[in-house]
Amino acid sequence: MSTKLLRTQAPHIFGAGLLLLGLAGINHEAHSAPVTFNFAGQVTQTVFDPFDPLSGAVQVGTPMYSYMNFDTSASDLNPAADVGSYAWTGGTYGFAAVLGSVLFPVMHSLSISVVDGAPGGIDQYLVHAWEGTQAGLNDYFSISLTLQDDTGTAFSSDALPSTRPDLGKFALRSFVLTGQYTDLNSNFIQYEVQGNLVPEPATLALTGLGLLGCAGFSRRGKKLP
């Protein structure tokens, strides 16, 4: 079943279709240093054009819970001393998020950038995960996280952190989910969801279990509770 077809259905089917893209990504096998980071937040803005493909399931105030899976043994692809660039491809890596009652796994292509601006500069932790190709009318969607510390004290190098960055050190903590696709009626649908991350959400420890539970509901074609 194509992702294009699944994305034209009700919100819970939409989530189930995205899940099928990334089920293989939720595993920790065959890699030397797999790590999972959890994040949570709340939606602050939504934009749907020409209509909402999620039928109101995601709106301002909707909670977001997520995790990403990657390998800390990845090499720095950027030779600059203050910018680290790391990338992964394949089903083992990716980013899964639950927004309200909808599961959004964005798997198979993941990148992380670490910017060490030193004191007086800007430190950043940038995550980007995506599916498809953002060109023309192609099916595409992505999730991005941005952590920014304007004091330049959050990082002491551009090395890939093996533990989740302390969100309390960053003044800017945001996430953006964007996507586009053409439905069966040839309507070109675009959507964008923005939100803020919270430093230490009370539900953070339950995120991984919650995602596994969501997978079960989605595969049965039911809206998540």
Give the pLDDT score at 50.
95
Global confidence as pTM: 0.78
How far apart, in whole angstroms, are the C-alpha atoms of residue 103 and residue 76?
Answer: 31
Count other C-beta atoms under 10 Å from residue 65's C-beta: 22
pLDDT at 157 over 80: yes
pLDDT at 119 over 60: yes
Tell me, yes or no, whether 225 lies in a domain.
Answer: no
Nearest to 51 by CA among 11, 96, 98: 11
Select the more confidently predicted residue: 82 or 134. Answer: 82
Tell me, yes or no, whether 127 lies in a domain.
Answer: yes
Average pLDDT of the residues in 109-117: 95
pLDDT digits (tens, 9 = 90+) for 165-220: 999 999 999 999 999 999 889 999 999 999 999 986 544 444 444 444 443 333 22
Alpha carbon of residue 219 to chain centroid: 20
pLDDT-based confidence at residue 99 (cuts at 50, 70, 90): very high
Give the pLDDT score at 105.
86
Tell me, yes or no, whether 224 lies in a domain.
Answer: no
- Let me know: does 209 contact 70? Beta carbons within 8 Å: no
Tell me, yes or no, whether 223 lies in a domain.
Answer: no
Structural domains in the chain (count) = 1
Give 13's contacts (C-beta < 8 A, 6+ positions apart): 6, 221
Tell me, yes or no, whether 69 lies in a domain.
Answer: yes
How far apart, in whole angstroms, are the C-alpha atoms of residue 102 and residue 145?
Answer: 18
Give the pLDDT score at 175.
97
Read off the amino acid at residue 65. Answer: Y
Give the pLDDT score at 134.
77
Nearest to 197 by CA among 40, 54, 87, 38: 40
Tell me, yes or no, whether 79 lies in a domain.
Answer: yes
How far apart, in whole angstroms, are the C-alpha atoms of residue 142 and residue 134?
Answer: 9
Give the pLDDT score at 139.
87
Tell me, yes or no, whether 129 lies in a domain.
Answer: yes
pLDDT-based confidence at residue 136 (cuts at 50, 70, 90): confident
Angle at 210 (CA atoms; ends 207, 216), nearest 5 degrees: 150
pLDDT at 35 over 50: yes
Give the pLDDT score at 89.
86
Average pLDDT of the residues in 46-67: 94
pLDDT-based confidence at residue 118 (cuts at 50, 70, 90): confident
Q: Over pLDDT 70: what percentage of the chain?
A: 74
Domain region containing 19: 3-218
Tell me, yes or no, whether 61 lies in a domain.
Answer: yes
